[in-house]
Amino acid sequence: MPASPADVDLCLRLYEQRRDRQLRRARDWMLAFRPASFAAVKAVIDGVEGRKANRYWRMATTYWEMIAALMVSGGVSPEGRALFVETTREFFFVFAKVRPFLGEIRAALSPAFMRRLEEFCVSLPEHDALQAYFEKRNLAASRAAAAAKAKPSTRAPRKR
């Protein structure tokens, strides 16, 4: 059965929300965030990395948790869910980024942290393949970021 006009409308409205300036900044920040350990995540959660990082963390994680709650609540048809999944995988990328630290994050914050996002991602038929793909991408990006951070700068000092 094809997606209904209501399913299409919901997907379009969710996409429109993503265009909000602050949410876009938070999503961009989350996509660039390369945690290599729980300590890196905790530093953001605790505000050690600054108020902006903490705000963007909260905004991005709660946005995708809200979307996942809508998708698994039964209020969205299977066709609507399928249409949503076909049009974005960003939610899965975010989940794969925090999944290695989920137990520690839940212990530090709340046992229910990202429970709906996890439920939604695990419910997808292609879950295992997506999880492996995004974890590999996140690991490679984290290693590259760590290497770049450890590498001494080769830039010439600025002239004054």
Whether residue 124 lies inside any domain: the answer is yes
Whether residue 158 lies inside any domain: the answer is no
Number of Cβ within a 10 Å radius of residue 40: 17
Alpha-carbon span 55 to 2, nearest angstrom: 38
Whether residue 156 lies inside any domain: the answer is no
> What is the domain count for the chain?
1
Alpha-carbon span 9 to 97, nearest angstrom: 29
The tens digit of pLDDT for each residue in 12-37 reads 999 999 999 999 999 999 999 989 89
Whether residue 154 lies inside any domain: the answer is no
The tens digit of pLDDT for each residue in 88-146 reads 889 988 998 899 999 999 999 999 999 999 999 999 888 777 777 777 776 666 667 66
Whether residue 153 lies inside any domain: the answer is no
Whether residue 159 has pLDDT greater than 70: no
pLDDT confidence of residue 57: 97
Whether residue 131 lies inside any domain: the answer is yes
Whether residue 50 lies inside any domain: the answer is yes
Whether residue 76 lies inside any domain: the answer is yes
Query: Are the beta carbons of 97 and 33 closer than 8 angstroms?
Result: yes
User: pTM for this structure?
Assistant: 0.81
**Domain containing 19: what range?**
5-144
